[in-house]
């Protein structure tokens, strides 16, 4: 899973990217990020920590989310050059919206107003799509003349469909908010669009607002009514400070602030939910590990995440739900309780399943 970070100049994109990925990219504002920063965040997962201890695993590996901090332009143009090329590779967009007040950091619009900025970026995304679809329609229309008659009908239909989607975008309907009909999916298949991607918002709040986090997130949820959207409030400057600390120092500092669950953890969890992802777990002396699958994935698809050979030679999966395993305390007891199950190809993997695949190649 890969998430592209964008937002207005100096909204704190790189600051939040650094905290998510424990990176050290240059911050500064107004064009400080000239080329994309790419990094990986670990998905915090207490289950992985607990299982590591129980199995005395030598290694602990968390699920990962890749973040790309997109280069911006000082004029606030979001979709030019390298940024656009990077966006074609992402599974979701993360908009960093500035909510912190700081006189020493200028704002493109002169004032801090995250509602306005969230609306503007959502609008810009749709506006970019209108241009992308227009270009596609022009190209298709241009090629009609030289097309075989048999293909022309189909192409004409696709053009009409694209124009309909464009008209809806002009009326403020993002592609992620539509139920695409099969004909629409087909017409769109060669057209890259941005408003079809899930849209996440990280509200970059000031330190004064940390105590207000819950109320702000509630408000943010109200602003993000559309489908495939979600958000969290993060205090960029605090998180940036914490990245440099040891784990003990960090825990102590967070406890002192009464900030609750770190915004970064919530952000990653919201991303998981909006993208429709689950984690399954594998355990053993060598390693305890979390893996990412799409909700609804069948056992062989989950096996493929580990290795294509395991999917190819899939025989069956042995599984116990994390919760059941913890209650039972050992695999043997889970077996006694009938909670250690054998599942076949049609099994739909659940979040928190501890899985072992039997396969032969
Ligand atoms: N007070 C305060 N300052 C912040 C916060 N987050 C970022 N900043 C400051 O805002 C400035 C811009 O931060 P960056 O993270 O570089 O912002 P950016 O969006 O990546 O900027 P560009 O890549 O240049 O568009 C820096 O001086 C940061 O230190 C915050 O939560 N509070
Ligand atoms: Mg930056």
Residue ranges in 11-71 assigned as alpha helix (H): 13-21, 46-55
Pocket lining for ligand 1, CB < 6 angstroms: 7, 9-15, 27-33, 72, 100, 102, 105, 204, 206, 235-237
What integer is the mean pLDDT of 48-73? 94
Radius of gyration of the chain (CA): 23
What integer is the mean pLDDT of 77-103? 92
Residue 352 has pLDDT above 90, yes or no: yes
**Tokens, residue 102:** 């700081």
In a domain? residue 236: yes
- Distance between CA atoms of 329 and 131, rounded to whole angstroms? 58
- For 292-311, the pLDDT digits (tens) are 999 999 999 999 999 999 99
Question: How confident is the model at residue 76, as a pLDDT?
Answer: 79
What integer is the mean pLDDT of 33-52? 92
- Distance between CA atoms of 217 and 237, rounded to whole angstroms? 18
| pTM for the predicted model, two decimal places | 0.91
Q: Is the dihedral of CA 23, 27, 29, 35 positive or negative?
A: negative
In a domain? residue 73: yes
Which protein residue has the closest C-alpha to ligand 1 atom 3? 237
CATH for 309: 3.10.20.30
Final residue belonging to a domain, choices 141, 160, 188: 188
What integer is the mean pLDDT of 129-136? 96
In this structure, are 263 and 213 located in the same domain? yes
In this structure, are 106 and 14 located in the same domain? yes
Match 């914490």 to its residue by tokens.
242
In this structure, are 157 and 99 located in the same domain? no
Mutate to test the pocket of ligand 1, among 11, 12, 81 (most ligand atoms within 8 A of CB): 12
Name which residue leads in pLDDT, 34 or 147. 147
Which protein residue has the closest C-alpha to ligand 1 atom 8? 12
CATH for 215: 3.40.50.300
- Give me the number of domains the chain comprises: 3
Q: Are 72 and 33 in contact (CB under 8 A)?
A: yes
- Distance between CA atoms of 202 and 307, rounded to whole angstroms? 34
Q: Cβ neighbours of residue 255 under 8 Å, at least 6 residues apart?
A: none
106 CA → ligand 1 middle, Å: 10
- Distance between CA atoms of 308 and 300, rounded to whole angstroms? 9
In this structure, are 207 and 171 located in the same domain? no
Task: Give the closest ligand to the alpha carbon of residue 235.
Answer: 1
27 CA → ligand 1 middle, Å: 6
In this structure, are 245 and 330 located in the same domain? no
- Distance between CA atoms of 99 and 110, rounded to whole angstroms? 13
- For 175-216, the pLDDT digits (tens) are 999 999 998 999 998 899 999 999 999 999 999 999 899 999
Mutate to test the pocket of ligand 1, among 21, 28, 117 (most ligand atoms within 8 A of CB): 28
Task: Give 77's strand partners.
Answer: none
Residue 10 has pLDDT above 70, yes or no: yes
In this structure, are 105 and 7 located in the same domain? yes
In this structure, are 67 and 102 located in the same domain? yes
Match 């602990």 to its residue by tokens.
60
In a domain? residue 162: yes
Indicate the DSSP class of residue 307: -
Pairing of β 64-69 and β 287-294: unpaired
In this structure, are 100 and 182 located in the same domain? no
- Distance between CA atoms of 112 and 98, rounded to whole angstroms? 7
Final residue belonging to a domain, choices 172, 188, 204: 188
Question: How confident is the model at residue 258, as a pLDDT?
Answer: 66
In a domain? residue 86: yes
Percentage above 90 pLDDT, the chain: 72
In this structure, are 170 and 201 located in the same domain? no
Question: What are the φ and ψ backbone dihedral angles of 327, each rounded to 5 degrees?
Answer: -65, -40
In this structure, are 82 and 225 located in the same domain? yes
User: In the structure, what pLDDT confidence band is assigned to residue 259 with cuts at 50, 70 and 90?
Assistant: low
In a domain? residue 22: yes
For ligand 2, a single-atom ion, the residues with CB < 5 A are 13-14, 32-33
Residues of the domain holding 315: 296-359
């Amino acid at each position: 899973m890969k998430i592209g970070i964008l937002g207005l100049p100096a909204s704190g994109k790189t600051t939040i990217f650094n905290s998510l990925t424990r990176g050290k990219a240059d911050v500064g504002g107004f064009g400080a990020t000239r080329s994309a920063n790419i990094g990986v965040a670990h998905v915090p997962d207490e289950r992985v920590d607990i299982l590591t201890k129980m199995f005395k695993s030598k290694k602990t590996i968390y699920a990962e989310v890749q973040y790309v901090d997109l280069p911006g332009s000082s004029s606030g143009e979001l979709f030019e050059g390298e940024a656009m090329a990077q966006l074609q590779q992402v599974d979701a967009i993360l908009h960093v919206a500035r909510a912190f007040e700081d006189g020493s950091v200028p704002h493109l619009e002169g004032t801090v107003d995250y509602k306005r900025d969230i609306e503007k970026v959502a609008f810009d995304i749709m506006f970019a799509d209108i241009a992308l679809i227009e270009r596609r329609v022009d190209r298709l229309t241009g090629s009609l003349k030289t097309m075989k008659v048999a293909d022309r009908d189909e192409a004409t239909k696709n053009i009409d469909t694209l124009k309909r989607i464009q008209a809806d975008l002009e009326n403020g309907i993002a592609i992620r908010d539509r139920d695409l009909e099969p004909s629409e999916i087909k017409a769109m298949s060669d057209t890259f669009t941005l408003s079809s991607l899930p849209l996440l918002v990280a509200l970059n709040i000031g330190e004064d607002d940390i105590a207000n986090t819950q109320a702000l997130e509630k408000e943010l949820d109200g602003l993000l009514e559309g489908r495939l959207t979600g958000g969290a409030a993060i205090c960029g400057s605090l998180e940036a400070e914490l990245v440099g600390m040891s784990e003990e120092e960090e825990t102590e500092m967070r406890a002192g602030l009464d900030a609750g669950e770190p915004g970064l953890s919530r952000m990653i969890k919201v991303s998981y939910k909006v993208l429709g992802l689950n984690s399954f777990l594998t355990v053993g002396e060598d390693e305890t590990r979390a893996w990412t699958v799409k909700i609804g994935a069948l056992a062989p698809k989950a096996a493929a995440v580990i290795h294509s050979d395991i999917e190819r030679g899939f025989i069956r999966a042995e599984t116990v739900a994390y919760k059941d395993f913890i209650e039972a305390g050992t695999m043997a007891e889970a077996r006694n309780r009938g909670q250690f199950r054998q599942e076949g190809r049609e099994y739909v993997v659940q979040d928190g399943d501890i899985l072992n695949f039997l396969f032969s190649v």
